[in-house]
Structure 1
Amino acid sequence: MKAARYHARGDIRIEDVPTPEASPGTVLINVAWCGICGTDLHEYLDGPIFVPPAGFPHPISGEAAPVTLGHEMSGTVAALGEGVTDLSIGEHVVVEPYIIHDDVRVVPGVEYQLSPDMNFIGLAGRGGGLSEKIVVERRWVHSVGDLPLDQAALIEPLSVGHHAFVRSGASAGDVVLIGGGGPIGLLTAAICKAEGLTVVLSEVSAARKAMALRTGVADRVLDPTEVDVPDEVRTFTDGRGADVAFECSGVDVVLDTLLEAVGPGAVIVNVSIWGHKPVVDLEKLVVKEIDLRGTIAYANDHAATIELVRSGRLNLAPFITGRIALDDLVEHGFDQLIHHNEDHVKILVHP
């Protein structure tokens, strides 16, 4: 079967690889759609980061580059391994793409996303969604019912936003400021809006500003090249400032703006994977007793995220801005997102 294989920085190849088969406790999935993630772009431009370099296999998967890419996937169940009895052939599913040790429990209350040697399917081995088929442990497979499979491919990045929301401790009625209107920023905004928060987005891209307003995920959109974002936020919060903020850009000045725009005792959640060490004014954090929190991926978020979409409280269809074939991955996928990223939220690949 065909698969997109990451060999090294700037080197992704569409190659023939053996077709996997279900083994005990696993599920064989026919991949319908797989999104191209910002993490994939980081690997292509700056990696290897999560991908184990050639000669340095991952301690759990035992694999190193070249590996099959893709971790934002949806598909249908093609075969069930021995012992798997609670799924049906043809069922619509998504994958929570973790690679963790077998003895780590995946249950509510366990922060398995923080377990030693954690990594991701589609980055550190065990196949990937940018291939025709994949075999996944049963514990990582989530049924999505009648949710369309193209929209289902966005459940994984949406779960990132959901986990960030949970980490923030925000509740209905809070004013939230989101710094950056890229894919994760917009999807985090969608989660916050669905949960009853007032959402303010700070973004300079005209296309992304328009997307936020068109989809209704933001109540206000502020352009920091046109207005003073902290002043604007304080104006419509009666001088208080935002209750919560999410850093979704990986840009120093954006984080600095959030520190200025939130109120005393506020929470800022850093969602970005930074490509450099930021320089920010932490004095603002100190004098306002701001709580700066990190977040990574998700843990026990997929079920709640799927329900938000299936219930109709959140519509993922508008965020799909491109559909391409696997053979066009680099030219019409990666190159588009690198050179024309303002025109896209999520490009989906049909293997």
Structure 2
Amino acid sequence: MRAARFHGQRDIRIEDIPAPELRPGAVAIDIAWCGICGSDLHEFLEGPIFISEPGHEHPLSGESYPVTMGHEFSGTVSALGEGVTGLAVGDSVIVEPYFVCNECAQCKAGHYNLCVKMGFIGLAGGGGGLSEKVVVDQRWVHPVGDIPLDEAALIEPLSVGHHAAMLANPQSGQVALVGGAGPIGLLTSAVLKALGVTVIMSELSEARKEKALSSGVADFVVDPSKEDVVEFVKSKTNGVGADMAFECTSVNAVLDTLIEAVRPRATVVIVSIWSKRASVDVHKVVLKEIALVGSIAYANDHPATIELVKSGKVDLKPFITGKIGLDGLVNEGFDTLINHNETAVKILVSPAL
């Protein structure tokens, strides 16, 4: 089968490799669509990061590069391993793309996203969605019913947004400030809006500002190059400040603004992956008793996230801005998202194109 394989920094190749073999307790899936994630771009530009280097194989997968990439994917069940129940050939599914040890304190407490050996399918090994087929343990396979498979490929990043949102305990009627209208910022906002939260979004790009408003995930969009974000938020909150904020840019100035713009005892959630150290005005955090929280991936979020889409509370169609085949992954997909990211939100890849 054909697959996109990471061989090193700026070296991703479309190769023919053997199809994965079905095993007991696992599910074989024909890939329909796979999204290109920001972490894929980080691996391409700066990696290996989550991908293991030869001689330092991942402790759970036992793999190092070259590995098949892609962890935001949907597909159709093609075969069931021995002992698999509750699924049928032909079912539309998505995958929660994890390797976890099930033995550490975090796994036993149910916080398997914090597993001391955690890895992602499509980064740490185990195949990936940027291919024709994958075999995944049943635990990680979620049926999506009649959700279209292109939209279903966005449920993985939507679950990232759901996990981040839940860390702030959002309540209907509250106000959230979201820094950055990239894919995760938009999808985090989609979850917040579905829960009845008023969303103010800070964003520079004209195209992304338009997407935030036209998709309905932001009530207000403020451009920090033209307006004072803190004053804008205060004007919408009777001078109090936002109840919560979400950092989705890995830009220090954005984090500083969020801390300034929230009310006392608010929660600020850092959602983005940072490739450099950040500085924080701890004095402001202390004096306002702000809860500064990190968020990584998801744990037990997929069922609730799938229901948000099934119920129509979240519409994923507006965020699909491109569809390409495997052969265009680097020149069309990665290049667009790296050099023209203001023009795209989520580019989907299909092995059938």
User: Which TM-score band (shorter chain)?
Assistant: over 0.9
Deviations 1:172-222 (A, max 9, x none): 111000001100000000000001000000000000000000001000000
Give distance in 2, aligned partners of 1:254 and 1:268. Answer: 11
2:59 equivalent to 1:59: yes
User: Which residue number corresponds to residue 100 of structure 2?
Assistant: 100
CA contact (8 A) 2:10 2:45 kept: yes
User: Which residue number corresponds to residue 287 of structure 1?
Assistant: 287
CA contact (8 A) 2:102 2:108 kept: no
Q: Any residues of structure 2 matched to 1:249-328 within 5 Å, and which?
A: 249-328=249-328
Q: Number of paired residues?
A: 351
Q: Any residues of structure 2 matched to 1:61-80 within 5 Å, and which?
A: 61-80=61-80
How big is the alpha-carbon RMSD for the aligned residues of Structure 1 and Structure 2? 1.4
Give distance in 2, aligned partners of 1:47 and 1:311. Answer: 38
Deviations 1:221-275 (A, max 9, x none): 0000011000111112111000000000000000000011001111000001001
User: Which residue number corresponds to residue 344 of structure 1?
Assistant: 344
SS of residue matched to 2:186: helix
Give distance in 2, aligned partners of 1:106 and 1:194. Answer: 29
Change in CA separation of 1:133 and 1:105 when aligned onto 2, cut-off 3 Å? farther
User: Which residue number corresponds to residue 130 of structure 2?
Assistant: 130
User: Which residue number corresponds to residue 166 of structure 1?
Assistant: 166
* Structure 2 unmatched ranges of 5 or more: none
User: Aligned AA for 1:224?
Assistant: P
2:168 equivalent to 1:154: no
Q: Any residues of structure 2 matched to 1:178-257 within 5 Å, and which?
A: 178-257=178-257
- Cα deviation for residue 22 of structure 1 reads 1.3
Change in CA separation of 1:212 and 1:30 when aligned onto 2, cut-off 3 Å? same
Q: Percent identity?
A: 61
- Cα deviation for residue 283 of structure 1 reads 1.9
SS of residue matched to 2:129: coil
Give distance in 1, aligned partners of 2:195 and 2:22. Answer: 38
User: Which residue number corresponds to residue 141 of structure 1?
Assistant: 141
**TM-score (ref. length: structure 2):** 0.97
Give distance in 2, aligned partners of 1:278 and 1:113. Answer: 23
- Cα deviation for residue 116 of structure 1 reads 1.4
User: Aligned AA for 2:242?
Assistant: A
User: Aligned AA for 2:254?
Assistant: V
- Cα deviation for residue 281 of structure 1 reads 2.2
Give distance in 1, aligned partners of 2:299 and 2:196. Answer: 22
* Structure 1 unmatched ranges of 5 or more: none
CA contact (8 A) 1:105 1:112 kept: no
User: Which residue number corresponds to residue 23 of structure 1?
Assistant: 23
CA contact (8 A) 2:175 2:200 kept: yes
Mean Cα deviation higher: 14-23 or 199-208: 14-23
CA contact (8 A) 1:71 1:120 kept: yes
- Cα deviation for residue 103 of structure 1 reads 4.6
SS of residue matched to 2:293: strand
User: Aligned AA for 2:211?
Assistant: M
CA contact (8 A) 2:26 2:137 kept: yes
